[in-house]
Structure 1
Amino acid sequence: MQRKSFSLKCRHFRNNGCQNNGKHPVLFEIFGEMWNVQVRLGQGVSASVYRVSSGRASMAAVKEFQVDAQGGDYGYLKERSVLENIQGHKNIVTLYGVFTNHNPLGIATHCLLLELLDVSVSELLVRASNQGHSMWLIQHCARDVLEALCFLHREGYVHADLKPRNILWSPDDECFKLIDFGLSFKEGHQDVKYIQTDGYRAPEAEVQNSLAQAGLEGDSGCTSAVDLWSLGIILLEMFSGIKLKETVKSQEWKDNPAAIVDHIFSSNSVVYPAIPVYHLRDLIKSMLHSNPSSRSTAEAALISPFFSIPFAPHIEDLVLLPTPVLRLLNVIDDSHLYNDDEYEDIIEDMREECQKYGSVISLLIPKENPGKGQVFVEYANAGDSKEAQRQLTGRTFDGKFVVATFYPLSAYKRGYLYQTVQ
């Protein structure tokens, strides 16, 4: 019997990040082991973040703080202190350790060794192409961020810089996590005058920032309510697919933000089921009261009816959010499933091909619905799964173009092979 085989179709891939151009470290010595710098993931005023790997193929992120010209280490000490005090929650980035890097010029820089995360909500918004995200994705993100905020606020902390770029997807934990606690503070002990990012800044933070710029002191510091305001704007952007920075600066918004929220929802609700739309709209409006004392808390927001509605992911969601499980579509004809010899040959071919990109833990091709004829490949980690998706997308199997998406590991493990929304 002739075995089915993959054939390569030439493609061009863009590396997501800046290549090492000699202007940043090539190696970090971390706890006596050399880690290679693969790519710079981001660069800010006070720090740069790199993706690094060790000889054991471990992956992590390093946040290297710039040398302070005045000799202070405030930014590093601040973020380290906050992270050390809030470790252990699944929706907050994990701090593995801290170390000092000595570069060839003899300059020492302070570094944080952090859990490596993946795509940010900011990147997801760019890829949404002004269409808005699915209810499944919005709900998933909203719940994860609110869980993190509940924990933070119970511990007495305010994040104070919640924005799409600071919410990242964890492929291995299959959830969104908060990063960047450089502006965070203990409620009632605000030691940062200028908080939050333009476009996600609560009204009371705008007032406080204006007073600080004028050299004046406000009556009191900001509270955890500023984080709920930021999340409300983020969810509104995810629903609409539109950046709202200019909108929230307008006088119309300042006069009546609820009316603009209603308008955005009435303009987009035609593509969504009515009841979930109403619940999401009301949830967002509860976070966007101008008076912080009227704003919903994170705990109250989590009991919104919006979170009681089950949603299935769109196929686009499973392309955007990596997991250790790869799902291959448009591969198997029904006729292949009922010939035992041919079915076993296909299983063998699939496993052989997929093992080229990483360690395959399991492989499943259901013979019945749901999932009939789809190929599910569980890899040892999401990095292998991502490489397989990159390599297999656009290839052909038995003359058919392969479509490769990810699939939730949690659902796969319990045998839940739901039909995704096209």
Structure 2
Amino acid sequence: MASSSGSNAKMSSPNVSTPAMTVSPGAVEQKTSPVLFEIYGKIWNVQARLGQGVSASVYRVSSGRASSAVKEFQADAQGGDYGYIKESSVLEKIQGHKNIVTLYGMFTNHNPFGVDAHCLLLELLDVSVSELLVRASNQGHSMWLIQHCARDVLEALSFLHREGYVHADLKPRNILWSADDECFKLIDFGLSFKEGHQDVKYIQTDGYRAPEAELQNSLAQAGLESDSGCTTAVDMWSLGIILLEMFSGIKLKETVKSQEWKDNSSAIVDHIFSSNALVNPAIPVYHLRDLIKSMLHNDPKLRSTAEAALINPFFSIPFGLYHSAYKNIVYISWCLCERLLWVSAPHIEDLVLLPTSVLRLLNVIDDSHLYNEDEYEDIVEDMKEECQKYGTVVSLLIPKENPGKGQVFVEYANAGDSKEAQRLLTGRTFDGKFVVATFYPLSAYKRGYLYQTVQ
């Protein structure tokens, strides 16, 4: 990439080469996994196996520039296709909500071993909350990320519960980020059922299982029937545990199985929050504690509903700094609202982990180049030329003043291009400085709201 006038700086590649995407050993086993799918007369190549369960495997597939996910079901113990029928029927009935994975279609895969397998063609999503928890390094996530995730999941559950369905397997692995829609979405409805018509005895995953589901499972193992089926309240319990793990940064499976938890879970929640004291504590942190407690009552009738949780004061502080209430306060991150900033702005780690169609480049441009108009225009053109190597650039912005001063914001036509650019630009050097590439919320960028992220 050519440098601006007055500078001999060039962007160079990092010393370590970056290989193309490869499938790790075992990700696609040739003897047991397909290498391609023929879907509606079109060939889709298998790039990787994303996950495998008792009844199904999930693959990332591509055809040209298009990518999707395929969930391939195995026959059940009786040689039937109950799992496929169940999940496909539920997904068909709950389509259309932005926080629920999109079902593109259903097909049968005729593999070379003579065994036909029923499949679902699904929207391909990105990082899961489970992966985010692993990367949190026992430190917990920012309030911005927790609030974003909590709202998205509650929106999905509110819709799902209004339709009369119980998800019945809410856990971090089943909440995934959508780079294109910039929101979290629910997946895996294999255990879902209509409230009042529970047709699955063993529901939920250990560590996220509500007390009444635990009791029901124990009775089923003993060959006994429970008086009544589980309700939508089991989903709220699971979400409460998930949010507590996101805040604490630790897995709570053993904690929720302990006698201390059974005796007084509220005290343990209080202890977790007091142990994770914030540098600049803000009221919404305590609202989060109370929101979580409302989801973790042992009595399911006392638990908050999804609709009630959505109006909890925890959500009174908006995402980022682009809410209408702050429409004209561009410099809010530079004023005295540090306590508000802590909860409403993302950490830089959040913007690295959650892909969007907007890329933000840091540590690239010195302030001295911003005030010479000729140099500034050269920089803009050079940046466009470089960034267009990785995809279609819709727009590019380099602010001359704070917030965002000297940062490069690049809007790509899609999140795929942005992710490729982030992968290839991270670690490059410009004017002797290592480039840091993060993503940035498209909604904030479109409104011109550039907040100062928390480091």
Partner deviation per Cα, 1:195-246 (whole Å, 9 max, x = no partner): 0000000000000000000000000000000000000000000000000000
1:397, distance to aligned residue in structure 2 (A): 1.0
**Correspondent of 2:14 among 4, 9, 12:** 9
The 1:369/1:270 distance shift into structure 2, 3 A limit, reads closer
Please give the residue correspondences for 1:38-49 in structure 2 after superposition, counting only pairs within 5 Å.
38-49=47-58
Kindly indicate whether the alpha-carbon contact (under 8 Å) linking 2:360 and 2:407 is maintained by their aligned counterparts in 1: yes
Equivalent in the alignment of 2:370: 337
Q: Aligned pair 1:380/2:406, yes or no?
A: no
Distance (Å, rounded) in 1 between the aligned partners of 2:18 and 2:209: 36
- In the TM superposition, what is the alpha-carbon distance from 1:160 to its structure 2 partner? 0.2
Task: Give the secondary structure class of the aligned counterpart of 1:356.
Answer: coil
**Against the structure 1 CA distance between its residues 302 and 16, is the aligned structure 2 distance closer, same or farther, given a 3 Å change threshold?**
farther
When the two chains are superposed, the root-mean-square deviation of aligned CA atoms in Å is 1.4
The counterpart of 2:182, out of the listed 174, 179, 195, is: 174
Within 5 Å, give how 1:251-290 maps onto structure 2.
251-271=259-279, 273-290=281-298
User: 2: distance between equivalents of 1:141 and 1:392?
Assistant: 28
Out of 160, 179, 195, the residue aligned to residue 203 of structure 2 is 195
Identity of aligned residues (%): 85
The alpha-carbon deviation at position 180 of structure 1 amounts to: 0.2
Matched with 1:27 is 36
1:206 partnered with 2:239 = no
Give yes or no for the alignment of 1:295 onto 2:303: yes
CA distance in 2, matches of 1:277, 1:217: 41
1:110 aligns with 2:108: no
Q: Taking structure 1 as reference, are residues 201 and 272 closer, same or farther at Cα in structure 2, changes over 3 Å only? A: farther
Structure 2 distance, partners of 1:21, 1:296, is: 45
Q: Distance in 2 between matches of 1:13 and 1:167?
A: 29
| Unmatched tracts of structure 1, length 5 or more | none
8 Å CA contact 1:190–1:221 kept in 2: the answer is yes
**Counterpart contact for 2:9–2:432, Cα < 8 Å:** no
Corresponding residue number in structure 2 for 1:312: 345
Work out the CA distance in 2 between the residues paired with 1:68 and 1:215. Answer: 21
Question: Do the aligned partners of 1:4 and 1:346 also contact (CA within 8 Å) in 2?
Answer: no
* TM-score (norm. length: structure 1): 0.97
Q: Which residue of 1 aligns with 2:150?
A: 142
Q: Look up the SS of the partner of 2:276 in the other structure.
A: helix
Task: Provide the secondary structure at the position in 2 that maps to 1:60.
Answer: strand
Shift of 1:268: 0.6
Q: 1:131 to 1:12 in 2, by over 3 A?
A: farther
Deviation of 1:351 (Å): 1.3
User: Which residue, out of 417, 420, 434, partners 1:401?
Assistant: 434
CA distance in 2, matches of 1:199, 1:119: 21
CA distance in 1 between counterparts of 2:71 and 2:252 reads: 29
Kindly indicate whether the alpha-carbon contact (under 8 Å) linking 1:5 and 1:349 is maintained by their aligned counterparts in 2: no
CA distance in 1, matches of 2:378, 2:272: 52
Q: CA deviation at 1:13?
A: 6.0
- Residues 48-88 of structure 1: CA deviation (Å, up to 9, x unaligned): 11111112x11110001113352210000000000000000
Question: What is the rounded CA distance, in whole Å, between the counterparts of 1:58 and 1:10 in structure 2?
Answer: 31
